[in-house]
Amino acid sequence: MYTLNLGKLTVEQFLADYWQQKPLLIKGGFTNFQDPISADELAGLALDEQVDARLIQKQAANWQLDEGPFDSFEKYGEQDWTLLVQAVDYWQPDAAKLLEPFRFIPNWRIDDLMVSYSAPGGGVGPHLDQYDVFIIQGMGKRRWRVGMPDASLEQFCPHPRLLQVTEFQACIDEVMEPGDILYIPPGCPHDGVSLDPSLNYSVGFRAPAQKDLIGGLADYLLDFQIDGTRFSDPGRLRSVSPGEINSRDLGQVRQLMQQLLADDDLLSYWFGSYITQAKRELDLQEPDPHYQAEEIAEYLEEGSVLGRLGGLRCCYQQPNAEEDIQLFINGDRFPLPATELDSARLLTDQTVLDAQQCSHFAQTPERLAFITQLINQGYWYFVE
Q: Interface with ligand SIN includes 200 (CB under 6 A)?
A: yes
Q: Which is nearer to Co ion, 129 or 283 (CB)?
A: 129
E strand or H helix that includes residue 153: none
What, of Co ion, ligand SIN, none, does residue 192 touch, CB below 5 to 8 Å by kind? ligand SIN
DSSP state of 112: E
Distance in Å, CB of 224 to Co ion, minimum: 37
Distance in Å, CB of 339 to ligand SIN, minimum: 44
Q: Which is nearer to Co ion, 159 or 333 (CB)?
A: 159
Q: Which is nearer to ligand SIN, 37 or 309 (CB)?
A: 37
CB atoms within 10 A of CB 81: 24
Name which of 42, 149, 26 is nearest 88 in CA terms: 42
Distance in Å, CB of 135 to ligand SIN, minimum: 6
Stretch that binds ligand SIN, among 39-47, 128-136, 334-342, 352-360 (CB under 6 A): 128-136
What, of ligand SIN, Co ion, none, does residue 324 touch, CB below 5 to 8 Å by kind? none
Distance in Å, CB of 82 to ligand SIN, minimum: 5
DSSP state of 161: T
CB atoms within 10 A of CB 192: 23
For residues 340 and 342, give the distance between their C-alpha atoms in angstroms, rounded to a whole number: 5
Q: How far is CA 50 from CA 53, 87, 163, 247, 284, in A?
A: 9, 11, 24, 51, 13
User: Quick one: which of 190, 308, 313, 367 contacts ligand SIN (CB under 6 A)?
Assistant: 190
Name which of 264, 362, 273, 279 is nearest 314 in CA terms: 273
Asked if 170 contacts 206 with a C-beta cutoff of 8 angstroms, the reply is no
User: Quick one: which of 68, 147, 192, 310 contacts ligand SIN (CB under 6 A)?
Assistant: 192
Distance in Å, CB of 192 to ligand SIN, minimum: 5
Amino acid at 380: W
Asked if 98 contacts 2 with a C-beta cutoff of 8 angstroms, the reply is yes
Distance in Å, CB of 191 to Co ion, minimum: 9
Q: Which is nearer to ligand SIN, 51 or 296 (CB)?
A: 51
Site for ligand SIN in 283-322 (CB under 6 A): none
Length of the chain: 384
For residues 251 and 230, give the distance between their C-alpha atoms in angstroms, rounded to a whole number: 15
Q: Which is nearer to Co ion, 125 or 208 (CB)?
A: 125
Distance in Å, CB of 86 to ligand SIN, minimum: 11
Strand residues in the chain grouped as ranges (E) = 24-26, 53-59, 62-67, 81-85, 110-118, 133-137, 142-146, 155-159, 162-165, 172-176, 181-184, 190-194, 198-205, 306-308, 314-317, 325-329, 332-336, 352-353, 380-382
CA-based R_g, the chain, Å: 24
Q: Interface with ligand SIN includes 129 (CB under 6 A)?
A: yes
Closest CB to ligand SIN belongs to which residue? 116
User: Quick one: which of 37, 68, 82, 272 contacts ligand SIN (CB under 6 A)?
Assistant: 82
Name which of 227, 234, 232 is nearest 260 in CA terms: 227
Bridge partners of residue 57, in order along the sequence: 64, 81
Q: Interface with Co ion includes 129 (CB under 5 A)?
A: yes
Site string for ligand SIN, 23-62 (x = CB under 6 A): ----------------------------------------
Q: Interface with Co ion includes 283 (CB under 5 A)?
A: no
Distance in Å, CB of 56 to ligand SIN, minimum: 8
Q: Which is nearer to Co ion, 39 or 188 (CB)?
A: 188
Q: Interface with ligand SIN includes 272 (CB under 6 A)?
A: no
Residues that bind ligand SIN (CB under 6 A): 82, 116, 124, 129, 133, 135, 190, 192, 200, 202
Residues that bind Co ion (CB under 5 A): 129
